[in-house]
Amino acid sequence: MSSTAVPGGAKTLAKRKATQENKLKQQQQNQPNSSRAAGAGGSSASMLKIFNEEAQGFKIDPLVVLVFAVAFIFSVVLLHVLAKITGNIF
């Protein structure tokens, strides 16, 4: 008596497979397709938002970012001044 009916679920193997596939499909469809849908912030209907996680990478302090930005601006200004003095840098 090897083919005793397994309790619960559909009787035939084909139907069992079909239900399982349906379940997988449903799961895949219900998977969140954006970080907001997963409940983690991010772009909403009227806002385009990219950064909401702290990803790996080398961490920088917010002040460092501002200082770096201003330093970059000043270096470009400096390049302008140099270009004016020497006539042409390259």
Give the footprint of another protein on this chain (CB under 8 A). Answer: 28, 31-38, 40, 42-62, 65-66, 68-70, 72-73, 76-77, 79-80, 83, 88-90
SS3 label, residue 23 = helix
Closest CA to 49 of 40, 59, 58, 57: 40
Q: Is the Cβ of residue 9 or residue 44 nearer to another protein in the bound state?
A: 44
Q: Is the Cβ of residue 6 or residue 78 nearer to another protein in the bound state?
A: 78
In whole angstroms, how close is the CB of 81 to another protein at the nearest point?
10
SS3 label, residue 27 = helix
In whole angstroms, how close is the CB of 70 to another protein at the nearest point?
7
Distance from C-alpha of 44 to C-alpha of 37, rounded to nearest angstrom:
9
